Chains A and B, each alone.
Chain A
Amino acid sequence: EDQVTQSPEALRLQEGESSSLNCSYTVSGLRGLFWYRQDPGKGPEFLFTLYSAGEEKEKERLKATLTKKESFLHITAPKPEDSATYLCAVQTDSNYQLIWGAGTKLIIKP
């Protein structure tokens, strides 16, 4: 069964303390892996799409990487405004739908 697992469920960091969020997946065939950010009471905001192992993408303090089993969202020197829930989703070869992880709630303390 296709599955996406995100860890940790929640992460509390001090401002400036770098860390990584994990998204591991078990799917029959990967077409694309997507990262989104969601603020409370709002729809998810698109961040990155990764298509193949070894691919990396960056945007400001965020960098997403992909292997054959997992993706990492690295956050460098985070600021309080980076606090949000980060969602990972996978699209498989067999289905155009997205399989969602449960998300990681990131809290950056000033």
Chain B
Amino acid sequence: GAVVSQHPSWVICKSGTSVKIECRSLDFQATTMFWYRQFPKQSLMLMATSNEGSKATYEQGVEKDKFLINHASLTLSTLTVTSAHPEDSSFYICSARDGGGPVEAFFGQGTRLTVV
């Protein structure tokens, strides 16, 4: 299967600082990338969808000024959590897909963010 690399796998930051998470597709062109948030023992919650070169589409209730998404190339998307607060602590996962049809998406290994 295709490989999606997410970095870092975990990060601890101070309240009020910003954190950037990278998501790279290593062996395919990711025309679409998704960012999810997952709370303990819960399923994936979609935060936003981004297509290369376009602005991200955010799900209802997700603050676009707080969670900045950039999909500047076909292999890289970044999620920046700005002015992080303890309630932003969570497991963030990216996924990438080549094309808009019914093709499978591949996931990164996730990033555990802890804001102290």
- Contact assessment for A43 and B43 in the assembled complex, using a CB-CB cutoff below 8 Å: no
- Contact assessment for A100 and B43 in the assembled complex, using a CB-CB cutoff below 8 Å: yes
Q: How large is the interface on B (under 10, 10 to 19, 20 to 34, 35 or more residues)?
A: 20 to 34
Residues in A neighbouring B110, C-beta threshold 8 A:
41-43
Shortest beta-carbon distance from B38 to chain A in Å: 9
Residues in B neighbouring A97, C-beta threshold 8 A:
34, 46, 49
Residues in A neighbouring B4, C-beta threshold 8 A:
43
Which residues of A, 38-84, contact B by the 8 Å Cβ criterion?
41-46, 49, 51
Contact stretch, chosen from B11-19, B63-71, B74-82, B95-103: B95-103
Q: How large is the interface on A (under 10, 10 to 19, 20 to 34, 35 or more residues)?
A: 20 to 34
- Contact assessment for B107 and A98 in the assembled complex, using a CB-CB cutoff below 8 Å: no
- Contact assessment for A98 and B102 in the assembled complex, using a CB-CB cutoff below 8 Å: no
Residues in B neighbouring A100, C-beta threshold 8 A:
43-44
Shortest beta-carbon distance from A38 to chain B in Å: 9
Interface: B6 (CB within 8 A): yes
Q: Which residues of chain A have a CB within 8 Å of any CB of chain B? A: 31-32, 34, 36, 41-46, 49, 51, 87, 91, 96-98, 100-103
For the complex of A and B, the 6 pairs showing the least CB-CB separation, nearest first, are: A32-B102, A43-B107, A31-B102, A43-B110, A102-B43, A44-B107
Q: Give 10 A-B pairs besides A49-B103, A96-B32 with Cβ atoms closer than 8 angstroms.
A: A32-B103, A43-B93, A43-B94, A43-B108, A43-B110, A44-B93, A44-B107, A98-B34, A98-B46, A100-B44
